[in-house]
Structure 1
Amino acid sequence: MSLKLQIAVIACLAVVAIADQSPYPAPPAYAPPAPPAYAPPAPYHPPPKAYHAEPDYPDVPPKYNYNYGVADGYSGANFGHSESRDGYKTEGSYTVDLPDGRKQTVKYVDNGDGLVAEVTYEGEAQYPEYKPTYKPAPPAYGPPPPTYA
């Protein structure tokens, strides 16, 4: 074995021997925590009562009438709705002006056994042909900037 290799092996053994001796104290050995002393369970306390009473709702069937309508000349919106209810019987209707020029009317009745609706249309659907108008594009660039001498 060459001298250089022997010196390298001896240096490695010296490093391992020195590294084995730590300058810090060894950590204490792990000890499991002591089991807790027996304690009886906490006494049961029911949850606190609500601070307000529940409202009492009457046992009478609902009864109402309402209607509304909108006619906006600016946007062209024109629709309305009316409904009346007496217990389980509900009846009403609503109307809508459709974009194709017709007026749709829906009349409905519900006697408590399901909704029955009747849809009717007034007028003829109109689909005018779209004719785009030519609009030239603006110039890409304005006049050249002035030059100063």
Structure 2
Amino acid sequence: MALREIRIDGDPILRKISREVTDVNNRILTLLDDMLETMKYAEGVGLAAPQVGVLRRAIVVDVGEGSIKLINPAVIEKSGENIDIEGCLSIPLKSGKVKRPEWVKVKYLDVDGNENIIEATGILARVLCHEIDHLDGILYTDLAIETYDDDDEYYEEDRKDTEE
């Protein structure tokens, strides 16, 4: 496993559409392992392959319930809505309010190439949607209702509201 460089907003690769993974091989498995290590090192909760410069449909997530590696993930159902603050490893020192589904059902391939479905609510649903958007060249700032610098006084007030 190795740490990979996280691409930052302005890098054109972040705006490209990722290609489907057609063969779950050692190269893809190494990519997923590297992404997981990179995400944890950067103290993130999700990372998509384009964020490390690879245009393949692969993401990793870990919201504290164990890491999940998803190949060719696609949202197949969603419901409800939830507005909350998001950040992104590719957009450092910024955050924003984004509306996401409260519940999602995502189809994906696991590391053995088997098709699986995961249903998620809350933060896991948000992270899955955020990372899947990366695979289509979409950044949370494209969807944000408001954006903040992380030292912005308005952001601090919103954070207090959500922590109470």
TM bucket, shorter chain: under 0.3
**Which has the larger strand fraction?**
2
**Which has the larger helix fraction?**
2
Give TM-score scaled by structure 2 length: 0.19
